[in-house]
């Protein structure tokens, strides 16, 4: 545009914007160069972050193959996941199932276990097994002195819970001796289960409404009855804490 004559006007340069545009392009170029230079360190940072979750090298290698958006999403998912609980012993896990908070903190459930007494899990809950060879004389349903001291420990354990309990008598497959008080193993296993129940209720001061009794004879063996060791294992009275549905 021609300069106005006579005063005061200013020149207008139609290409003046190129200076600002050039500055903008330079800044954009600098920005993208910076992003490119940061690409590999960022992958390394993501890899180090993932390795803190214990995934090992396989998880680290897989990060490099992800896009930046996928990396961020994976990082967020990892951060939101609950960290695994510290390892606990089987005794502690059983104590938790039984509702024993004090025992759940310290592995002292074994204090309640003596020779002839063991504890395990099954689909019903926790099963305390009392060996009949410790608890009863052959062909008898009268508790031995050793059995009463063991049952005192069991009663102490049961007082810390409110779960229902099933007491179940078991025998091996050998029939009771002829002329004895029991006609078959069903009757013997029932009397032994009732003897344990009566002790826990009367001496252990436990609520009888929590209990039920079962006679299973030789119908639920834990081991083969072909050997003496197997038969000894099958002769038992089980105190089942019904923690499962």
Q: Mean pLDDT for each consecutive 10-residue tract of the chain (245 residues)?
A: 51 68 77 63 50 47 54 56 50 57 45 68 88 93 92 87 94 92 95 97 95 96 95 95 79
Beta bridge partners of 60: none
d(CA 73, CA 85): 24
For position 28, what pLDDT does the model report? 78
Using alpha carbons, select from 38, 77, 88, 87 the residue that is nearest to residue 55. Answer: 77
Phi, psi at 217, each rounded to 5°: 55, -130
Quick one: pLDDT at residue 186? 96
Distances (CA, A) of 73 to 65, 98, 172: 14, 40, 61
Please report the sign of the dihedral spanned by the C-alpha atoms of residue 84, residue 90, residue 92, residue 98.
positive
pLDDT given for residue 60 in this prediction: 44
Q: pLDDT value at position 118?
A: 81
174 vs 225: CA distance, rounded Å: 9
Sheet strands (E) in the chain: 117-122, 125-131, 165-170, 211-215, 236-241
**pLDDT value at residue 20:** 76
At 57 the pLDDT is: 45
CATH topology of domain 90-241: 60s Ribosomal Protein L30; Chain: A; (3.30.1330)
* Residue 169: predicted pLDDT: 97
Domain with CATH 3.30.1330.60 in the chain: 90-241
Q: Is residue 41 helix, strand or coil?
A: helix
């Amino acid at each position: 545009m021609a300069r106005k004559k006579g005063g005061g006007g200013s020149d207008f340069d139609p290409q003046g914007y190129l200076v600002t545009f050039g500055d903008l392009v330079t800044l954009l170029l600098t920005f993208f160069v910076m992003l490119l230079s940061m690409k590999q360190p960022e992958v390394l940072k993501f890899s180090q972050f993932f390795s803190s979750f214990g995934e090992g090298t396989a998880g680290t290698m897989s990060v490099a193959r992800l896009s930046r958006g996928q990396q961020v999403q994976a990082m967020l998912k990892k951060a939101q996941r609950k960290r695994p609980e510290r390892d606990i012993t089987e005794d502690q896990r059983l104590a938790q199932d039984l509702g024993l908070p004090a025992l759940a903190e310290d592995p002292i459930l074994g204090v309640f276990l003596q020779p002839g007494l063991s504890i395990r899990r099954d689909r019903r809950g926790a099963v305390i097994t009392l060996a009949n060879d410790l608890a009863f004389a052959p062909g008898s349903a009268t508790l031995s002195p050793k059995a009463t001291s063991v049952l005192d420990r069991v009663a102490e354990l049961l007082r810390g819970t409110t779960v229902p309990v099933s007491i179940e008598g078991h025998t091996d497959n050998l029939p009771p001796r002829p002329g004895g008080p029991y006609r078959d193993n069903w009757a013997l296993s029932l009397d032994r289960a009732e003897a344990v129940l009566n002790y826990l209720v009367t001496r252990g001061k436990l609520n009888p409404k929590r209990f039920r009794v079962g006679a299973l004879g030789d119908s639920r063996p834990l081991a083969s009855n072909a050997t003496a060791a197997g038969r000894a294992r099958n002769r038992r009275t089980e105190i089942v804490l019904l923690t499962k549905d």
